[in-house]
Structure 1
Amino acid sequence: MTEHNPTTTSKQTFAALGQRVIDIETDAVRGLSRFLDENFATACELLLACQGRAIVIGMGKSGHIGGKIAATLASTGTPAFFVHPGEASHGDLGMITEQDVVIAISNSGETAEVLSIAPLIKRRGVKLISMTGNPRSTLAELSDVHVCIAVEQEACPLGLAPTSSTTATLVMGDALAVALLHARGFTADDFAMSHPGGSLGRRLLLHIHDVMHAGERTPLVNQHVTISAALLEMSRKGLGMTGITDDQGRLVGIFTDGDLRRILDQRIDLHTTAIAQVMTPNPITIKPDVLAAQGLKLMEDRKINGLFVVDEQGFAQGALNMHDLLKAGVL
């Protein structure tokens, strides 16, 4: 191996080399548009009609990309998993059924491990989609449909390490997955069901009614009570606010810690003044079945720290503040 002194390469040179890679791979991705043709549409139709799963196979770097493509398909409504072609030759081929569709990835289209199992896949009557950079390759010829992923050049200056080709493959896989997502009418709720863990799942699955304070924990007072009585309710419930209701129980106003600071400068008698005289009328509210993430956005947009939750008739169902969303992991 040729010795190289890393101290001879300047920071500017590193940046220029990195920019060259980005430029080449960007051009490779742009070039994929010419392959969004009838073959791409046919591949989508095969996957959409599949009664089983999409089985993605690939060797080496193509295998790593294939694993990611399978994961993306699975999380967007197309049941899928990755099968290593080497393992498939030693028993894992039994994981593939007649109801499945196989997506075989090989940039050259001549990967021995993939070609060795392709005839067996075809013999079972399983539909085979290939993704290669050579439409005349053996794998492309064996396939029911071929999706081209050819690139002009690899970003590797030696032209050896898969770089542009793997990026192009990944993007084409995303194009398949998202096209299928749209065709299936896959929704955010569907997406949430396959992503229950982590912050993404919490943002998509948690609704306002999951995080709000309800029942006796909701700070509420009648509009005729004094400010001091309202402050006592705020103190007991610990949300830094209380809702004000009319005689029928509908929410008509809100009183917060901020409102208290403002009226203290006005020399108002807290023990004789009705809360209705100092409340903020017609407060911003939210419905209980709205996503918690939407509640967060509403608070951020309106620059408020709390919300009351009301039903269609305007009766208070609960309350929440930023701290509740923080505890629930929505922030």
Structure 2
Amino acid sequence: MPIHFTLKHTALGLALIGASTGVSASDAENFPSKPMQFLVAAGAGGGTDNFARVVRPMFEEAVGGARINVINLPAASGALAHQRTANGAPDGHTLDFASTTLVTSLAAGQNPVGLDQLTPVARMQSDVMALFVNPERFEDFDAFMTYAEENPGKVTVGGTHTASPDHMAFLSLADASGLDMNFIPYDSTGNATANVLGGNIDATTTSLSPLLSYIDAGQMAPILIFSDERLEDYPDAPTTVEYDWDLTDGNDRAIFVHADTPEAIVQRLESAFKEVYDSDDYQAYAERVNLDYREGWMDGAQYRERLENNYTLYSRLLENE
């Protein structure tokens, strides 16, 4: 099964696809024409689930009052959500809400749905990744790096399960820095954090938003931010780019549809989500949950390119681990 987006999606190709699936130009104009499904490739209560549920009423308004059912399909790192989307009708009424786990699990061989089977509509969030430590253990990243250099193979960094965005952040950092470190997988960010605080591991790689309460309490500190520029809230934490490491990937949250969905419907969906993204209500939500540290929006074409590049990188990192 091919694993990359194909190049068949030209205007002519999409027109032929629309004809073969019975989706006409008028269908696109009248979209949506029936109830819709938001398939969440994650469990209830997590970041992707909250994202989908917050967006739902805003999206309903943007497309003229469609009825939408949100369905959580967390099994196999969300693969079931991807399969249902890829195997369903290519009419834009089934949307796959997924995080970066979609491409990390694909690179790890855990996801049977190739990137050629889904079309990205848009990315709306990119939660910034960071390296976190107990500040009583390491004052800053230079202290951490010196310790790692002096103790090769003994530094342990935790995060959520293998082939997660946390794991990919760790592998990217180890690859770029040359530091000899080991990754310890946990079943949750909370468990990884608890093991840092308990002194069982040296650090954790994860996104900023889940650890804000620990940061505010002075229990955890981000000592390296995966970002182009220093964040206003953490001016003393250097970025990966300052060390000449091109590591700025975050934990993205995006929307996908069946790969054969006609371009007119994909564009209708993209425009509706852009309207949601630009709204005061959505921006207030993003600020409230600290997802406004950097621009979250990418249109479908931009995100397609990002996914391709990340698939290549993550495949290499996992192969060389």
Instruction: Sort the TM-score into its range (normalised by shorter chain).
Output: under 0.3
Q: Which has the higher helix share?
A: 1
Q: Tell me: higher relative CO, structure 1 or 2? Use CA pairs within 8 A at least 6 residues apart.
A: 2
Over alpha carbons, which structure has the higher Rg? 1
